[in-house]
Each structure stands twice: as structure tokens, then as C-alpha cells.
Amino acid sequence: MVVLERGRRNCAASGNNAGSLHVQLLAYDFLDRAGAHGGPAARTLPLQRDSAAAWPEFAAALGADLDIEITGGLMLAEDADRLERLKRKAALERRHGVEVEVLSANELRDLAPYVSPRMAGATWCPAEGRINPLRAGPAVLGGAVAAGARVHEDAEVLEVARAGSGFEVRTARGAIRSGKVLNACGAWSARIAAMAGARLPARAHPIQLIVTEAAPPFVGHLLAFADRHLTLKQVRNGNLVIGGGWRASLDADTGRPTVRRDSFEGNLWVASRVLPGLDAMHVIRSWAAMNVAVDGAPILGELPGVPGFFHAVTVNGMTLGPLLGRITAEWMRTGRPPPGIGYFTLERFG
């Protein structure tokens, strides 16, 4: 197996994400955007549940400390209307096999006294948590190399062409012949798919994140908000990592994502409404990263009409990585899709 890195390993989405292990639906994916049934994102809930649970097992198999903590996640509601909306979302999640409980304001204060007293309640998902992507990416790639994989850095893919029963992949560092190709290129996946003659309904979605100075432990859970973009957690060394998909800009000359001041200020405003203690802390860093936007569910499987060319493209990739990696590897090895995965192919787009 050969891994082609556009730049340096773990320097794009795999190493620059916030490290959240999401099992609940993000609230802005429910009702308004996706309809009351949750749309494609809701179909992904069992995958998120199973993949988040697989991370500790995966870390043990790698023999690596990935700084995984399954502390549970709280999605907070600021008023009665938003709490009612979370109750409907929780009912949908439970129908998909995800354990979610609705907490009153008093129950929330008992569980998380550090949260703002203005919150009217929350949903509680014990399966959520966090992982350190700066540890996870190198460990996973190291495991692949130990199993025989070769990694080529600074090897941007320029062309994918048929070569007999396989493919020739022309890169910035030369050409490689391969019997099969896996397009797991995130924000660049539509570009790679186009080289094989396919239109992939995915696009680049630059987002940004914020880190504060370190503080003594006081945030014990993964925090999200009912109808505003927010993820917030405290990592092992005491820093708060704040994100939630706030949009970044894209530099037209370099193609690199850059931080936007309005998103920076908006993200901190939402975070401070949830966490009053944030006002006493200093921000030390903000950065922009490249995410991918799809319809809320993974795009998996072999490209129709192009045997041997596979996709594995998804949002929430940090959570879904172990399970989607296992599914895709087995699919490519056997040529047969695993049971129950048919919805996640390109066929759902017609």
C-alpha cells in the first residue's frame, strides 16, 4: 500500500481538527436543515456510536497513548424552546440506537456546575469525548508503515488514469501504478474524483479553531450548543479547545485557509455564554483548517463504472475514522460491500 500526502503527514484535516468525538447530532443539522427525521446525518448515528467506541480498542492495538477520554457530551439549551427542540432530537437519536438523556436545569447544574446558570437544560450523551489528533494521526500512520505501507509526502496527485486493469497515478513526485485507488482526500476529494470522471457532491469547507492558555481542570465534558456553532473541551494539559465549524477564509493565491476575525469573535461570544469562566482566560492561538462539506453522511464505496476506484469521504472524520477505515479496507479487499452500508454510496444522490 502507498499513501500519497499532498503535503506533510498529519498537517491537514487529520492533524488540525479539534479532536471531538461526536456521537450526538449537531443541533444545527436537525429540523431546520435536515427535516424532522434528521436526514443523512441521522442515518450516520450508529456509525458514530460504534466508531467512537472503537477508538480506545484501536489505540490499544497500536500500543499508543492517543489522549482519549470518553467523558460524555452535553448539548446545552439556553431557553425552554431550545430545550424542547433538543428533546425531539434526543428522541430521534434514541430511535437510531444512541444513548441520550434530557437533563433539566437542576440536573445540568449537578452534573456540570461550571456551565452558565442561564442554561435551561441539556442533552447528555455518555459515549462522547475527545482525542488528541496530534497523537492519533502519527500513531495510525505509524501502524500502517509497520504493516508495510509506504508514505510519499509532498506528492500532490495531478492525474489519475486507467492503466490496463489498474491505474497510473501521476504525482508531483512521479507516477505510481496501482491496482486500486482510494480517494480519502477530504476537501480535495471532488478534484480527485473528477480525474476518474465522477462528480462527487463534496466541497472544501475551511473552518477555524481557538486555544486558550492552560488552566486547572474545570471543564469535565465535551460541550456543544443547541442552535449555535460550538464545541468546547479542556484537554489534558489544561488548555481549552474551542471550535464548532466557524467558517474560515480561503486565500486565493495560496489555496490555504486563513482565520476570519468575525468568526473568531463570534465563536468566543458563543463559548462565553456557555462557560462564564472563559472570560478570565487568555486566547493563545487560533488557526484555520480545511474541512469537507457533504450532505451529513459519508460517501463510501466503489465508483460506478470505474472498478477499483473507491471513495471514503466524510464529515466528522475524527470520530468515524476507525470504523470507516475498517469498512473500506474490507470492501476493497473482498470487492463486496458490507451489509447495511448501501445508503452511504454515491447512489443516494441519484
Per-residue pLDDT tens digits for 322-339: 999 999 999 999 999 999
Count Cβ atoms within 10 A of the Cβ of residue 221 and give its class: 0-12 exposed, 13-18 middle, 19 or more buried.
buried
Residue 114, in any domain of the structure: no
Q: What is the pLDDT of residue 12?
A: 87
Count Cβ atoms within 10 A of the Cβ of residue 168 and give its class: 0-12 exposed, 13-18 middle, 19 or more buried.
middle
184: containing domain: 1-69+129-202+296-350
Residue 50, in any domain of the structure: yes
Q: What is the pLDDT of residue 350?
A: 80
Rounded average pLDDT over 231-258: 93
Residue 86, in any domain of the structure: no
CATH of the domain at 145: 3.50.50.60
Tell me the pTM: 0.94
* In the block, residue with C-alpha cell 503527514: 9
Q: What is the pLDDT of residue 255?
A: 83
Mean pLDDT, the chain, integer = 94
The DSSP bridge pattern shows strands 150-152 and 2-4 to be: parallel
Between these two residues, 27 and 238, which has the higher pLDDT value? 238
- The pLDDT of residue 271 is above 60: yes
pLDDT digit string (tens) for 143-192?
A: 999 999 999 999 999 999 999 999 999 999 999 999 999 999 999 999 99
Residue 166, in any domain of the structure: yes
Residue 302, in any domain of the structure: yes
pLDDT digit string (tens) for 20-51?
A: 999 999 876 665 554 567 789 999 999 999 99
% pLDDT > 70, the chain: 97
pLDDT digit string (tens) for 127-148?
A: 999 999 999 999 999 999 999 9
Between these two residues, 53 and 34, which has the higher pLDDT value? 53
pLDDT digit string (tens) for 310-322?
A: 999 999 999 999 9
Q: What is the pLDDT of residue 252?
A: 84
If we measure between CA atoms, which residue out of 45, 100, 106 comes closest to residue 73?
Answer: 100
Q: What is the pLDDT of residue 31?
A: 52
Annotate the chain with three-state secondary structure: CEEECCCCCCCCHHHHCCCEECCCCCHHHCECCCECCCHHHHHCHHHHHHHHHHHHHHHHHHCCCCCCECCCEEEEECCHHHHHHHHHHHHHHHHCCCCCEEEEHHHHHHHCCCCCCCCCEEEEECCCEECCHHHHHHHHHHHHHHCCCEEECCCCEEEEEEECCEEEEEECCEEEEECCEEECCHHHHHHHHHHCCCCCCCEEEEEEEEEECCCCCCCCCEEEECCCCCEEEECCCCCEEEECCCECEECCCCCCEECCHHHHHHHHHHHHHHCHHHHHCCEEEEEEEEEEECCCCCEEEECCCCCCEEEEECCCHHHHHHHHHHHHHHHHHHCCCCCCCHHHCHHHHC
Residue 21, in any domain of the structure: yes
CA distance 71 to 218: 13
Q: What is the pLDDT of residue 218?
A: 96
CA distance 202 to 291: 10
pLDDT digit string (tens) for 250-264?
A: 988 888 899 999 999
Domain total in the chain: 1
Q: What is the pLDDT of residue 30?
A: 61
CA distance 141 to 298: 21
Residue 174, in any domain of the structure: yes
Q: What is the pLDDT of residue 253?
A: 85
Q: What is the pLDDT of residue 29?
A: 62
% pLDDT > 90, the chain: 92
Residue 40, in any domain of the structure: yes
